[in-house]
Structure 1
Amino acid sequence: MSHTSNAADNLQISYTLSFPEAQAHYVEVEMDISGIHQPFIDLKMPVWTPGSYLVREYAKNVESLTAWNGSTPVSARKINKNTWHVMPAGASSVKVKYRVYCFEISVRTSFVNVAHGFISSAGTFLYPAGMLTNSSTIHIKPYKGWDKVSTSLDMVGSDPFTVHAPNYDILYDSPIEVGNQDVFGFDAAGVKYEVAMCLGGNYDKERLKKDLKKLVEKETEIFGENPNKRYVFIVHNYAKGGGGLEHLSSTVLGATRDAYATEAGYQRFLGLAAHEHFHLWNVKRLRPIALGPFNYDEENYTTDLWIAEGFTNYFDNLVIHRLGLYSTENYLATLCGDINLIENSPGNKIQPLYEASYDAWIKYYRPTENSANMSVSYYSKGSVAAMMLDLEIIQDSKCKYSLDDVMKYMYTEYYKVKKRGYTDDEFKQGLEKFAGKNLDEFYKKYIYGLDAVDYKKYLGYAGLELVDDRAGLNEPSLGITLVANINKPVVATVLRDGAAWVDGLNVNDEINAIDGQPFDPATSLIGKKVGDKINLTITRDGLPMNLRITLLKNTQVKYRIVSIAKPSAEQIAVHGKWLKQ
């Protein structure tokens, strides 16, 4: 991590954002730098954004970069993929102008059209190399008709269109929404909360305020304090939307515009809000040691995303349950969703959990047709690991402690006292402190190893067990999934060790007929048995082919979590501690 040099101490940096061609998806940036004493300045664009672990090459969207001393152009040439070498020619100030193309809808990328401008800071603002601690001011000239700015950056004076960033780490962790968003707020846990609803939606504002306030206070209880003064939810409502990205004092959520009116849709939105808001502690402050200070030029590797994301994935639904919005049955069904996802992914037996975290940069955000066979989600499996550890701690401490206590202790010890991230071993020691025992075996089996999860043991602590609704069935299967939302049966995934895998049916093959009859995925295997040999007529790369395939047993599971017949007093106590409301 580069630190500010003495020459940088006097740099004054300001940006002006304008949208003269919003209809063509551009933001224009003017960067004013003064107080220059050095012969050159290298200006850099981050290649990734914190919270989304993929090198996205944001510089690819930058065009027409020029540098000026007043009305005189000065040299500004690109020296690598994300760096421009600016020669001020002795001038103490320069103005750098460039345009950024913004047309990727996601919570982590900028998007501009005539309706609104969403500025993802890491992909918009250049910074002087080695000067990440420099402050800057951003002035926004809105497109015609836009009248609001929503960001966690502080206003300069009383001008909502001028904001200040104390350093680049905070700037890159503070997205900016400009437009006509519906802005409302509430106070919770001593913090002022703002909600910026963009692009419409059938939400009930008063209900949202009430439930988001409860959510904030319930999560704050876990950690013992809310470290913000102000926090902003930026919500992009699309015809069909999803996803979220956490920031230090804000979050960006993607939502479905007309889904708020159904209970399922409303609960999904609150679950997403609970997840991203939980990150203001877990990841943004309580963090793996590799995740900050950041190197914006390359990958920042950690084996602990199963804690950073998996634990957050666990607590989001648990918090919704604690609010009384999920019944115990609903909560357990949601938890079972993660269990089924893991157990039906062949990659669960291939990729250990720590490796899934480490390889997020090349695997998780770049899924392929073979991802299910070679990798496991650190979100889902991390969530199940959190459940196991929570139940282990409750059991071993005789209901005195839970995973809540670990999170509060680690937040206090590492963020507040030591003021740094934790190592793998330090988080393990935090878990052991409350479990009251060594967790080497747990880590060996479930974090570094590929052992099958002992659900009977962990759920049994709470008087629960898994039931597989498919147990005892001996149904044949091709071991494939098909491409959704098209009329033709085209293979999307071939599952490891299934019939298609063994006998050579491929992804992108179109299945035309089975034993001479037109193929119907819903009915074509009715009456067939495990071990039957079938003839498939397919089209591969435009050419007809015939394949002979031996049908194998469908190994997919469909678990439910149910109560055992006669739980003991101890099991009832663990259940009560775990699923308290």
Structure 2
Amino acid sequence: MKKLLLAACASAVWASSFAQNPVVYEFSFPNIKHHEAEITMKLSAVPAGPLKVRMSRSSPGRYATHEFGKNVYNVKAFDGKGTPIKIDKVEGDVYTVPAHGADVKITYTLFGNWTDGTYVGLDESHAHLNMPGTLMWAYGFDKRPIRIHFNELKANNWRVATQLKPEGNNTYSGPDLQYVMDSPTELADYKENSWEVTNPDGRKQAIHLTIHSVDGQNVIDNFSKMLQRLVQEEMAVFGKLPNYDYGNYTFLDDVYPTVSGDGMEHRNSTCIVQPAAKIEGNEKRLLGTFAHEYFHSWNVERIRPKTLEPFNFEHANMSNELWLAEGFTQYYGGLLLERAGFDTPEDFYRSAAGLVNSILNTPGGTKYSAIDNSRYAVFADAGVAVDATNKNNMFLSYYTYGGATALALDLQLRSRFNLTLDDFMRRMWVAHPDVSKPYTVADAQTELAALTKDAKFANGFFQEFIYGSGKHDYAAWLDKAGLVLRPARPNVAWAGRIAAQGGRFSEGGSRGAGKGLVIAASTTFGTPVYKAGLDAGDVITAVDGNSIADEAAFNSAIKDKKPGDRVEVTYSNRTGEHKTSIRLEDDPLLEIVTYEKAGKMPSASQLALRNNWLSTKVN
């Protein structure tokens, strides 16, 4: 007992020391027109021995690595008196200070000209700061509190939008490195609308909508009313809001035509970047990102996969659970827009059909498991590669894979157990309420078994559809709601889906090249062009003896054909000119329609299930 008491006292002293010696950052923007910020990091009570500092390579909400160190330069070190001391660059994003005193100051220049949820955007209109792309950090200091001071706010007519705690005098704080790195910050002349939400226990919390756009305040206020309705619908799934740190949740929205579209969830905020001219006239379209990202306020930020906790800023966390963390969130994004009245049921059916098509009609969906596809996120989530990949044939986004899985599970819970996916999400939150109790795939199976009181069902579901690559009978489960899954383009001949932009096959990315149609990437396993032996690097020059110059000519050559017909294709590559035959097939694209649209009469039980599924849950 005495030893435990002494250890507790020592721990308290250590924590007190941390609190008295925070890591302090200071920002200045003397060259903002050229996308630069000057940043100072001050460290005190630095232990003896070499000091190691670095930039991150990964960011919360992203699952692939990103080389933030490439945009940091002019790195210098000083002692407590301001005298320069030696600092060595030992890796591309890692530095060491071999000799120093108790106080060390590191200064550097940060370049940022890419506004999205991952990187940094600096210009005269704003400083858009994703913290892993912004802050250098020191090893061994990750548990210390952090203070950040922003200079020149008034000169730039900027205010600060962030989940960090305001300390006054343009200074903000966070309890440790994990929290601050999860705290995007926007410095801008933004417009704001805030409101309070009361939880069933009477706790009031403030939600802030901050938007950096050209819209007037009236537009922001009207959009805020829409968002308030959506927040109510999302809250109804779980029964209450999370207890947000400092009693606040902040939407940071940046809207401008040249930004890079993105949405990135964080513990008490979300960073949304939308490439549009303005909010006005685009409200419904832009609201979709809010629907997805706010659901993460529960799913991911509280119901947290163990594989993401703690977050590693040196490399990507590989996760087995993204099919649930991101995929179930994707499903709910569309469902909640419909429940809140912003989408029609038909809008939701189209969204659901997209999920079903993805999992039934792609190799990543048919050949690989939910866990396989989740693990590939370390390469796929906005990861950068200059060499070709074969993703067409071995990866399906965990967003759509998980969304399709959520759709099937929701319908099975409703028709077999008189339960819902809402019930499952609430149970997951009770069992795994925060990052202190993250979950594994096995934990999710345990909660499904407890919810349904059917361990055999839960085990079969996970073995076949999560660990394995089995596919649900979507037609049968949709039928329970009086919905029909059917071919969207019956009796239409198909050689392979053609993407809508750029003259590219979605299988392979083909493009016109003057003397033929170039297939620029891997064709997709199982499609007619794949079976015909065509692949990346092949140039289609003729179909049935008629010259082909581009995608339009190829489409024209097959538009009057029927499934089962063959077309003779002449193509060339580095080995010379060749001929092959493409046997056209039925277009596999599926659609979901109501019994009524299909000329059938739904039963009372089918209508009841459908209406309960899609109706608002807000009292």
Task: Please indicate, yes or no, whether the TM-score normalized by the shorter chain is above 0.5.
Answer: yes
**AA in 2 matched with 1:238:** Y
C-alpha offsets along residues 278-309 of structure 1, whole Å, 9 cap, x if unaligned?
Answer: 11111011111121122222232221000100
Q: Is the contact made by 1:201 and 1:257 (CA closer than 8 Å) also made in structure 2?
A: no
Partner residue of 2:144? 134
Does 2:409 match 1:389?
Answer: yes
1:454 and 2:473 correspond: yes
In structure 2, do the counterparts of structure 1 residues 88 and 224 end up closer, same or farther at CA, with 3 Å as the change threshold? farther
CA positional deviation for 1:232: 1.4
Q: How many Å apart are 1:31 and its aligned residue?
A: 0.7
Segments of structure 1 that go 5 or more residues without pairing to the other structure are none
**Partners in 2 of 1:114 and 1:383 — Cα distance?**
40
Per mean C-alpha deviation after superposition, the further-off stretch among 560-569 and 442-451 is 560-569
* Partners of 2:605 and 2:426 in 1: CA distance: 25
Root mean square deviation, CA, Å = 2.7
Is 1:498–2:532 an aligned residue pair?
no
Pick the structure with more strand per residue.
1
8 Å CA contact retained: 1:201, 1:237 = no
Tell me the residue number matched to 2:452.
435
Whether the aligned pair in 1 keeps the contact of 2:58 and 2:312 (CA below 8 Å) is no
**Distance in 2 of aligned mates of 1:358 and 1:94:** 40
Work out whether 1:536 is the aligned partner of 2:570.
yes
Superposition deviation, residue 13 in structure 1 = 1.6
**In the alignment, is residue 576 of structure 1 matched against residue 611 of structure 2?**
yes
Within the candidate set 100, 110, 114, 1:104 is matched to 114
Q: What CA distance in whole angstroms lies between the structure 2 residues aligned with 1:556 and 1:126?
A: 52
Comparing 455-464 with 317-326, greater Cα deviation is found at 455-464
Q: For residue 64 of structure 1, give the secondary structure of its aligned residue in structure 2.
A: strand
Q: Distance in 1 between matches of 2:556 and 2:257?
A: 33
Per the alignment, residue 254 of structure 1 pairs with 273
Aligned partners of 1:82, 1:88: CA distance in 2, in Å? Answer: 19
| Aligned positions, number | 567
From 314, 335, 345, give the equivalent of 1:328: 345
- Cα deviation, residue 92, structure 1: 1.9
In the TM superposition, structure 1's runs of 4+ consecutive aligned residues that sit over 6 Å from their partners are none
Which residue of the other structure, out of 284, 291, 304, is the alignment partner of 2:321? 304
Letter in 1 for 2:393: N
Change in 2 beyond 3 A, CA 1:509/1:184: farther
Q: Corresponding residue for 1:121?
A: 131
Deviations 1:42-73 (A, max 9, x none): 22322100110011121222212111012321
CA distance in 1, matches of 2:587, 2:144: 54
Distance 2:13 2:351 in 1: 51
**Does residue 205 of the first structure (1) align with residue 220 of the second (2)?**
yes
Give the match's secondary structure for 2:319: coil
Distance 1:13 1:422, change over 3 A: same
SS at match of 1:495: coil
Quick one: which amino acid aligns to residue 198 of structure 1?
Answer: H
Work out whether 1:376 is the aligned partner of 2:396: yes
Paired residue secondary structure (1:331): helix
Matched letter for residue 522 of structure 1: N
Alpha-carbon distance between aligned partners in 1 of 2:532 and 2:473, rounded to the nearest angstrom:
33
Match of 2:493 in 1: 475
Deviates more, 1:145-154 or 1:35-44: 35-44
Secondary structure of 2:403's counterpart equals helix
Q: CA deviation at 1:523?
A: 1.0
Shift in alpha-carbon separation, 1:478–1:215, aligned structure 2, 3 A: closer
Report if the CA contact (8 A) 1:476-1:551 is conserved: no
CA-CA distance at 1:181 after TM superposition: 2.1
Selected match of 1:219 from 231, 234, 239:
234
- Equivalent residue in structure 2 for 1:194, among 184, 197, 208: 208
- Secondary structure of the residue aligned to 2:210 is strand
Q: 1:457 to 1:109 in 2, by over 3 A?
A: same
Cα pair distance change 1:133/1:97, threshold 3 Å: same
Residue aligned with 2:306, SS: coil
Q: 5+ residue gaps in structure 2?
A: 1-10, 199-203, 504-510
Q: CA deviation at 1:374?
A: 1.4
- Hey, which of these two has a bigger chunk of helix by percent? 2
Percent identity (aligned):
26
Pairing partner for 1:166 from 172, 175, 180: 175
Does the alignment pair 1:148 with 2:159? yes
Distance 1:434 1:99 in 2: 53
**480-489 vs 360-369, which deviates more?**
480-489
Matched, 1:420 2:437: yes
Bigger drift between 360-369 and 266-275 goes to 360-369
User: Which of these residues, 395, 408, 411, is aligned with residue 426 of structure 2?
Assistant: 408
Secondary structure at 1:156 match in 2 = strand
